[in-house]
Amino acid sequence: MSMKDTLIQKLEKQVDSWESRLDTLKAQFNEYKQKAENQEATEELKQETAKRISDLQEKVESARRRLSELRESGESHVKEVRGQVEDWLNRNS
């Protein structure tokens, strides 16, 4: 497997993981919202969950952009960005 394919596979795996976490967060939010005893708790939970969802969605979008760039690049460019991609994954995992 080429370095490019390996990096693409890593990014795709991370995107899948984040999308799964997004689904879980959304489901938890709906469950908590139904159980909330008062409006204040619901609003607090809503704001916290909305921020977590937004942050995770930004990571997914950024990873998708990197995937697109990686797929379009040649092997020589892949070598240049390998460290950048791996550092980015480590910071955002």
What Rg value do the Cα atoms of the chain yield, rounded?
17
Please tell me the number of Cα atoms within 13 Å of 22 on its side-chain side: 15
For the residues 66-75, what does the mean pLDDT come to? 82
Asked if 53 and 27 count as a contact pair (C-beta separation under 8 A), the reply is no
User: Positive or negative CA dihedral for 72, 87, 57, 8?
Assistant: positive
* Model confidence pLDDT, tens digit, residues 33-55: 777 666 666 777 778 888 988 99
Confidence label for 20 from pLDDT (cuts 50, 70 and 90)? very high
Averaged pLDDT for residues 75-82: 76
pLDDT at 69 over 70: yes
Q: Which of 29, 15, 25 is nearest to 58 (CA)?
A: 15
Task: Calculate the average pLDDT of the chain.
Answer: 82
